[in-house]
């Protein structure tokens, strides 16, 4: 393992560590330099205050009734500001008001906590916190915070597993670059998966197989299908990942697409079977 000077990590303001690690050890782990620095503002005291806020909320107002402080948006797309002394609850950026984002920008309060799924987002770093591939120290702290802010009964093993799975699956980029092979994925299924990775839906979607067969049938019949309405285009890596996790899944060959209504994109599809 490569080590960096403790001072170099300190200058990034990292002030948290996993319970099983000494402070010195935590500071000199090379990957702390890429961790979200804003996480260090969530001290034990701040976390205790957020916990009380959530307890009060659950007592006074059972979760499904919570609304955005500025509009009527309800769960699942609600975010608690994690800055000390601030209890703002705002709606997500995909909502008309985007009140969590507006609040973060106006007050420079970077981190928010998703009430529905216990995930965290940093508006400064513009990313989910504790994703797969993020520095271990960040992932551990994010888990610790989720654990502390979960319902008093704690999280079940299944809930913890789904939380981890979301962190892993949202790290999968579906973005298609110029030179990529393209894959079509049925929109309804993709939306379920997207909602799962965004923490709007706790359960992952069902298997991809039937959804892809439906799409294939429409394309074979030359029914008109619309990009981002009936289907999305994803890259090969994402397709392979999804086919492996949610497969077996039907993919369409170039031959099958020769006479079809899909004209918006250049498509080159290949049959991919899991574990082939
Ligand atoms: Zn950050
Ligand atoms: Zn709102
Ligand atoms: Zn705030």
Burial (CB count <10 Å: 0-12, 13-18, 19+), residue 7: exposed
Are residues 131 and 225 located together in one domain of the fold?
no
Q: Within a domain: residue 21?
A: no
Q: What is the pLDDT of residue 15?
A: 44
**If you measure from the C-alpha of residue 41 to the centroid of ligand 3, how many angstroms do you get, rounded to a whole number?**
12
Are residues 93 and 127 located together in one domain of the fold?
yes
Q: Within a domain: residue 106?
A: yes
Among all bound ligands, the one having the nearest atom to the CA of 80 is 3
Q: Within a domain: residue 77?
A: yes
Q: Within a domain: residue 120?
A: yes
Lowest-pLDDT choice from 83-97, 134-148, 171-185, 202-216: 171-185
Which of 175 and 19 is assigned the larger pLDDT? 175
Q: Residue 233: is its pLDDT beyond 70?
A: yes
Residues near ion ligand 1 (CB < 5 Å) are 36, 38, 122, 124-125
Are residues 50 and 136 located together in one domain of the fold?
yes
Domain termination site, one of 130, 145, 169? 169
CA distances from residue 1 to 133, 139, 258 in whole angstroms, order as listed? 17, 19, 52
**If you measure from the C-alpha of residue 108 to the centroid of ligand 3, how many angstroms do you get, rounded to a whole number?**
8
DSSP 8-state symbol, 175:
P
Residue 179: CB atoms within 10 A of its CB come to 6
DSSP 73-107: -BTTSEEEE-STT---EEE-TTSSS-HHHHHHHHH
Which domain covers residue 89, as residue numbers?
39-169
Are residues 165 and 248 located together in one domain of the fold?
no
Are residues 193 and 131 located together in one domain of the fold?
no
Domain termination site, one of 169, 200, 228? 169
Residue 57: CB atoms within 10 A of its CB come to 17
Residue 267 pLDDT grade (very low, low, confident, very high; cuts 50, 70, 90): very low
Q: What is the pLDDT of residue 13?
A: 42
Q: Residue 256: is its pLDDT beyond 80?
A: no
Q: What is the domain count for the chain?
A: 2
Are residues 131 and 242 located together in one domain of the fold?
no
Q: Within a domain: residue 23?
A: no
Residue 92 pLDDT grade (very low, low, confident, very high; cuts 50, 70, 90): very high
**If you measure from the C-alpha of residue 156 to the centroid of ligand 1, how many angstroms do you get, rounded to a whole number?**
28
Are residues 123 and 217 located together in one domain of the fold?
no
In terms of C-beta distances under 8 Å and separation of at least 24 residues, what long-range contacts does 122-129 make, across chains too? 122/36, 122/38, 122/39, 124/36, 124/38, 125/36, 125/38, 127/36, 128/167, 128/170, 129/36, 129/39
Token pair belonging to 164: 């981890």
**If you measure from the C-alpha of residue 64 to the centroid of ligand 2, how many angstroms do you get, rounded to a whole number?**
15
Whether a cis peptide bond, with omega within 30° of 0, leads into 255 is: no
Are residues 194 and 160 located together in one domain of the fold?
no
pTM of the predicted model as reported, rounded to 2 decimal places? 0.77
**If you measure from the C-alpha of residue 202 to the centroid of ligand 2, how many angstroms do you get, rounded to a whole number?**
21
Q: How many residues does the chain have?
A: 276
Among all bound ligands, the one having the nearest atom to the CA of 66 is 2
Residue 60: CB atoms within 10 A of its CB come to 9
160-183 residue pLDDT tens: 999 999 999 998 988 877 666 778
36-91 residue pLDDT tens: 999 999 999 999 999 999 998 888 877 678 999 999 999 999 999 999 999 999 99
Domain termination site, one of 169, 195, 230? 169
């Amino acid at each position: 393992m490569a080590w960096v000077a403790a001072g170099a990590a300190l200058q990034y303001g990292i002030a948290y560590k996993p319970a099983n690690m000494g402070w010195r050890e935590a500071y000199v782990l090379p990957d702390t330099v890429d961790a979200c620095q804003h996480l260090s503002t969530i001290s034990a005291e701040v976390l205790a205050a957020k916990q009380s806020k959530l307890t009060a909320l659950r007592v006074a107002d059972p979760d499904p009734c919570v609304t955005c402080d500025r509009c009527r948006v309800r769960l699942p797309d609600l975010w608690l500001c994690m800055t000390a002394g601030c209890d703002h609850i705002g709606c997500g950026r995909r909502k008309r008001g985007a009140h969590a984002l507006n609040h973060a920008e106006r007050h420079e309060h970077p981190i928010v906590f998703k009430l529905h799924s216990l995930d965290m987002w940093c508006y400064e770093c513009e990313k989910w916190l504790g994703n797969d591939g993020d520095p271990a120290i960040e992932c551990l702290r994010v888990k610790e915070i989720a654990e502390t802010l979960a319902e008093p009964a704690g999280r079940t093993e299944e809930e913890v597993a789904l939380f981890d799975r979301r962190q892993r699956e949202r790290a999968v980029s579906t973005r298609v670059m110029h030179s990529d092979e393209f894959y079509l994925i049925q929109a309804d299924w993709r939306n379920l998966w997207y909602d799962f990775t965004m923490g709007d839906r706790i359960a992952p979607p069902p298997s991809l197989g039937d959804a892809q067969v439906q799409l294939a049938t429409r394309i074979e019949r030359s029914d008109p299908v619309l990009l981002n309405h009936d289907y999305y285009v994803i890259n090969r890596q994402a397709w392979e990942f999804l086919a492996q996790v949610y497969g077996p899944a039907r993919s369409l060959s170039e031959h099958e697409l020769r006479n079809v209504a899909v004209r918006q994109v250049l498509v080159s599809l290949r049959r991919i079977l899991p574990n082939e």
